[in-house]
Every structure is written in C-alpha cells, then in structure tokens.
Amino acid sequence: MGQALGCIQVDQSTVAVKENFGKFNDVLQPGCHFLPWCCGSQLAGHLSLRVQQLDVRCETKTKDNVFVTVVASIQYRALAEKASDAFYKLSNTREQIQAYVFDVIRASVPKLELDSTFEQKNDIAKSVEEELEKAMSAYGYEIVQTLIVDIEPDEHVKRAMNEINAAARLRVAANEKAEAEKILQIKRAEGDAESKYLSGLGIARQRQAIVEGLRDSVLAFSKNVPGTSAKDVMDMVLVTQYFDTMKEIGASTKSSSVFIPHGPGAVKDIASQIRDGLLQANTTHQ
C-alpha cells in the first residue's frame, strides 16, 4: 500500500538506491521516503552496511612440496558514502573478494616451508588484507579484518608429523630414563663402597678394643695374683672365652651344626692359636 502511494521504508544499517528513469539519483538513508513513481522515480535496491564475513578455502603448495588448505576469514562492509559504487560496480562481491584471496595466498605460501607457514600466518593475513584493501576500496567496500583461521596439511602429512613428534619425545624420554638409571647405579655403588668402608673400619676398631681389653686384663690379673705369669693368665682367659662360646652355640636354637675338636689337648691348641693371632694383630697395629 505504501509503495502504491510512493512511500518506502529503509531499515537501520541499510541504504536504498533511488533511480530516476533508470539513472542513479540518490542514496536513501534509513527511514521513510517518498518515491513518486509517476515522475519516473523508482527503487533500484537495498544495500546492507553491516559487517559481513566470507570464509575462503584455498588449496596451495608450500616450498617443500606439501599441499595445504588455507582457510581465510574476511570481514568486510559497504561504505555509506560510496554506496553507489558498491551497488553498481560489482555484480558479485563475494566472488570478487575470493578471487583476490586466492591470488595473494597462492603467491605467498609457495615461498614458505610448511613449518614457516604456520609460524608466519599473521604475515600472510596481513598481505591478504593489504591487497584486498587496495582493490575493494575502489568498489566502495572496506576490509575490516582478515584472519588465517586454519592451515590444514594433507592427512598423511599430519600423521607423519605426529609420528615424528612422538618419536622425538620418546627419544628424549629414553635418554632421561637412561640418565636416571645411571645416576641410581652410581649412587648405589657409592653407598655400597661407603658401607664396606665403614664396616671394615668398625671391625678394625672392634679388634683393637678386644686386644687392648685382653692386655689390660692380663696385666691387672698378674699384679693382683702373685706367682702367675702373663702367659698363664692369657691361657685362662682364652679357655674361659672358649667355654663361653661353646655355651652360646649350644643354647642357640637357630644355629647350624658346628663340628670342632674338643678335649684338653684341643683346648690347648685353640688357646695357642688364638693367643698367637691376637698378639700378631696387636704387633701389626702398633
């Protein structure tokens, strides 16, 4: 009804293009406008001023001959002050933008190797944005933002890259494990050596204490009991220790069977051997 009376409504964030007898006349801003059709005025169409997004998938090849699919996201909008250019100069804006994106990406990516492509995707996006800005400004469009949202190598290439990464990590893990085992073995050997050293030191001190104790006992007994020599006292001490040892062996329920010669002559031989060994040890210590 409004159009029949020559009235039209232009929505917010939209402009309308007015023609007079087929020739561009004016750009109508949002609101209500009178369009006298009887005088040759007519509405050519509407143009949205909102930011629009176009996702472009471009397949190309890197410098190291790896095929990748680059996904670029282009955000653009028509300029109100150049609405006539945006409306009349391009028949298909999205295809025009896509053609420029293809051109820039296929000129930039083949100069880079695959790893560098991932690292320099911001530089690629900047190159695309600069080229689009120069080209589309002449048609009344503004490039708001250009993003390289994804770089997709071939599936076989991605699988190979993952395998290489996994193998490298396993190699590092194996080296770390071997180094840990090496340190553990070194520490175990150092601990064993220290233990043996301390054990030997303890045994030497024990023997020294035994010798000094026997010597003090013999000297004290010789002084307190007249007519006894140091040899007699030593024999008596050794025989006493011999019988104490026999008693402990017999009283122990967990000890293995031990066969030793027993009798007055055997006791004498054992006493002589023990005495000679202790005296020899004492002489060596001194």
> pLDDT by residue (tens digit) across 12-48?
888 888 888 888 888 888 888 887 777 778 888 888 8
What DSSP string runs through 8-74?
A: EEE-TTEEEEEEETTEEEEEEPSEEEE--GGGTEEEEEEEE-S-EEEEEEEEEE-TTS-EEEEEEEE
What is the average pLDDT value for the chain, to the nearest integer? 80
Q: Where are the alpha helices (DSSP H) in 225-263?
A: 230-251
Please determine, for residue 171, whether its predicted confidence score (pLDDT) is greater than 80.
yes
Does residue 71 contact residue 148 with C-beta atoms inside 8 Å? Answer: yes
Task: Round to whole Å and give the CA distance between 70 and 105.
Answer: 8
> pLDDT by residue (tens digit) across 81-112?
888 888 888 888 889 899 989 999 999 898 98
The pTM of the full predicted model, rounded to 2 decimals, is: 0.54
**Chain-centroid distance, C-alpha 15:** 54
Report domain 52-153's class.
alpha beta
Higher pLDDT, 85 or 276: 85
Of the chain, the end-to-end C-alpha distance in Å amounts to 132
> pLDDT by residue (tens digit) across 238-260?
667 666 777 776 666 665 666 66
148 φ, ψ to 5°? -95, 100
Inter-CA distances, 89 with 96, 139, 144, Å: 11, 6, 20
